[in-house]
Amino acid sequence: MPTAAARSGPVSSVAPAAPVAAVADHRGLDLAAVRLTHGPLAEWQELNAAATIPHCIAQLETSGVLDNFRRVVGESGAEFRGFWFADSDLYKVIEAVGWEIARTGTEEFDAWLDDVVGLVARTAEPSGYVHTYIQGVAPEKKFVQLELTHEMYVLGHMIQAAVALSRANGRDDLLRLARSFADLVDRRFGPGREDGICGHPEIETALVELYRHTGEERYLRLAERMVDLRGRGLLPVGGLGARYFQDHAPVREATSAVGHAVRQLYLNAGVTDVYLETGDATLMSAMDAQWASVHERKMYISGAFGSRHRDEAFGDDYELPSERAYAETCATIADLHWTWRMLLAGGAAGAATFAETIEREIHNALAASIDASGTRFFYSNPLQQRPDRYSEENAPRTRTPWYVCACCPPNIARTVAQLSCYVASSTADTLWVHLLAGAEIDLPEHLGDGVLRIETSYPADGAVRLSVHGQVVDGARLAVRIPSWSSASEVRDDDGAAAAATDGYAVLPLTAGATYDLDLDLAPRFTRAHHRVDAVRGTLAIERGPLVYCIEQADLDGVEVDDLVLVPGAGVAEGEGTALTVTCAVVPGGDALYPAAGAPPTAAADHPATVTATAIPFATWGNRAPGPMRVWIPVQTF
């Protein structure tokens, strides 16, 4: 078994994933070294700081999460509220605050942190254990029902929050508490001790990051052990089945994504993290196969995952229904974290494919999960909503301010706060730009003492200008991703010299004073699904740049969105702002449920009525009025 790389002390990188071994192909940049200065991602971070994080903080009170801690120490007489893993909501909000401090240096949340970290400290037992459901409701279940109680999952989020705070401003009070709890788990379940894994993976990636942050190798060994023990029948899976828990096969043999989508994707992030510190090639081989399974056969066009409401689960290959898509927000977030680690690791799919996937997720599924106010959220993100669709607790017709199972809103907050970490990375002689966004990027020390500025209104516009300022070391290079959907595939310098894309990136000299221009082709396009995706056979989706589009009932007058059929041969035209227009035929009403087919209508002449329908970015749907929506538009009526 490969061993961890030698190291001299704690990692100093201010980022959510900071590998320390020499295994990684790419190194991430510090969060504060990449400043999103303008454009939709920058605006989203500002909205997150001004609205989403304060909203989440308020909801921790009204939902009872903080009272659950207070009742353990006799500071509240309220009954326990929420799910047994509700503590994790607090830790995710703390993590969001930590990355916001790292991003801006804000002191706005300091008093709140004093209060809540102090509350956690009072709740923690001398052993380090802190889990308010077990402590206050079911103490007899401590480490007894690992398949259900989520004790280690909650600890994982506690660790990530603690690391974020420590990296952001050196605040280590929560880190000490998290380490104490992690030490307890290590004494109970570490190498040579009792076998045990959590029913909800997440602690694995957190333990690896704790190792990176502290230099304490036993945290890495504990993460390795948990990876190695999965799939060995340790969990009493009951009626849910072993696949639900990813406990059906050892990690190195589990090459297809199955079961609860969020759990599978968090597990994969942790496995990839273990690889990044050990170089265990058998783990990377499994992750390459898993990545292909997830993204080549089980990913929605929006960058969402999980096709079944039952068990919040992956379905079979190509099982991707639109209106019954579960597509949980947390699954997209988990995959973003995993895919970034695959990029750092140099996975087989290639950096450009990983980066384009992250871009798809951020601009579509993740963006659609939150409304324009930053305070209402989707848990489930279907690609079609019918007129009579009923609301379910975690799949409502409209976004809601919070959920009883509130995993998604604080997860959004922590992810948006760290978005700049996914913009760029570095290798020995190259700065790599993966996400195209208005930004200032400080060059890593080994490349110089300068700044790369990116000016663009992308994805509203395809013009991207990159300029290099300050000191740069000789021989340094700049690699700029050119998306696969763009027919424009080169970057030009001031003299007109062009660098074409190879493996998805145009590689240029990183020269002080240099300016480079990229003009992407943002022509709208139709996209079809693989022929085995039966749910959308005979339909097309509309895309423009990285954005997936939909037609929403709010833009139609006197016509039902479910009666629209794309007119063969009609193109897509630019509309106002980011909107597009497309000519559609209107299928006449009055059909019986199963009329005789006859000759299928395939041309506009077969439909007397046509309309010019407006298509809007999927990310913005549901911001005006509740109602029907669909991404995949039929080309024929059968």
Per-domain boundaries in the chain: 27-133+147-318+328-422, 424-519, 525-591+600-634
Question: What per-residue confidence (pLDDT) applies to 504?
Answer: 96
Tokens of 67: 């009272």
Fold of 424-519: Immunoglobulin-like (2.60.40)
**In a 10 Å sphere around its CB, with 0-12 CB exposed, 13-18 middle and 19+ buried, how is residue 511 labelled?**
middle
pLDDT (tens digit, 9 = 90+) per residue, 399-411? 999 999 999 999 9
Rounded Cα distance between 152 and 549, Å, is 39
Residues of the chain below pLDDT 70:
1-12, 590, 598-608, 637-638
Tokens 């966004």 belong to residue: 437
Burial of 20 (0-12, 13-18, 19+ CB in 10 A): buried
For the chain, the C-alpha Rg in angstroms (whole number) is: 25
Please state whether the peptide bond connecting residue 401 to the residue before it is cis, i.e. omega within 30 degrees of 0: no
CB half-sphere exposure, 438, CA atoms < 13 A: 16
pTM: 0.96
Q: What is the model's pLDDT at position 6?
A: 42
Note the pLDDT of residue 599: 57
Q: Which pLDDT score, from 0 to 100, does residue 601 have?
A: 53
pLDDT for the residue numbered 570: 82
pLDDT of residue 594: 84
CATH of segment(s) 27-133+147-318+328-422: 1.50.10.20
Predicted pLDDT of residue 587: 87
Whole-angstrom distance, CA of residue 258 vs CA of residue 236:
18
Q: How far, CA to CA in Å, does 350 sit from each of 232, 265, 310, 356, 457?
A: 31, 19, 33, 10, 26
Predicted pLDDT at 11: 56
Q: Looking at residue 51, what is its pLDDT?
A: 98
